[in-house]
Amino acid sequence: MTNYLGLTEDDGTTQEAVAVRPKVAPVKRSTPTLSVAPQLPVAHAPQVQDAAPIDRIVTITPRFYSEARAIGEYYREGNPVIMNLSDMEESERKRLIDFASGLVFGHAGTIERVTSKVFLLSPPNVMVSSEDKTAAANASLFNQS
């Protein structure tokens, strides 16, 4: 074996072992079949004229994260939801905002911060117009001139 590997010199007195390899049938390799899914049309948000009229806006002031289910159920029914998170602890408030963000993303809606602890969840059939905030901030309610 050392001669075969070239570690020693062959003086010709040793007999070489013949290695016998068993015959193995060649492996048939099949070409993987690619299946292409048919092109589906991109889902678009429903147009405002096609949507049912909005008969209410739901306001929820949760105290615990376990109340997230009620928010999700109202939103899935197509109702805009105002979440007032001022009564929640910071850690649960973050979890609920993450939940609401995923909820509106999954239903192609929007989420807007109204104040630091109040959020508006709008379904895709609801258009929320945001007026020019600088003009509103500069306007004075009691300006009678």
Distance CA 96, CA 100 (A): 6
What confidence tens digit (pLDDT) does each residue in 8-29 have? 665 655 555 555 555 655 656 5
Nearest to 107 by CA among 82, 84, 124, 127: 124
Domain boundaries, the chain: 56-128
Distance CA 120, CA 100 (A): 10
Q: How many CA atoms lie within 13 A of 112 on its CB side?
A: 14
Query: What CATH number is given for 56-128 in this structure?
Result: 3.30.110.150
pLDDT score of 93 = 93
Mean pLDDT of 37-66: 66
Angle between helical axes of 90-106 and 68-76 (0-180°, round to 10): 20
CB 78 within 8 A of CB 104: no
Does the pLDDT of residue 61 top 90, yes or no? Answer: yes
CB 119 within 8 A of CB 83: yes
pLDDT score of 2 = 64
Q: In 3-state terms, what secondary structure has residue 80?
A: coil
Q: How many CA atoms lie within 13 A of 64 on its CB side?
A: 2
Pairing of strands 110-115, 81-84: unpaired
| Tokens 């159920």 belong to residue | 73
What confidence tens digit (pLDDT) does each residue in 74-122 have? 999 889 999 999 999 999 999 999 999 999 999 999 999 999 999 999 9
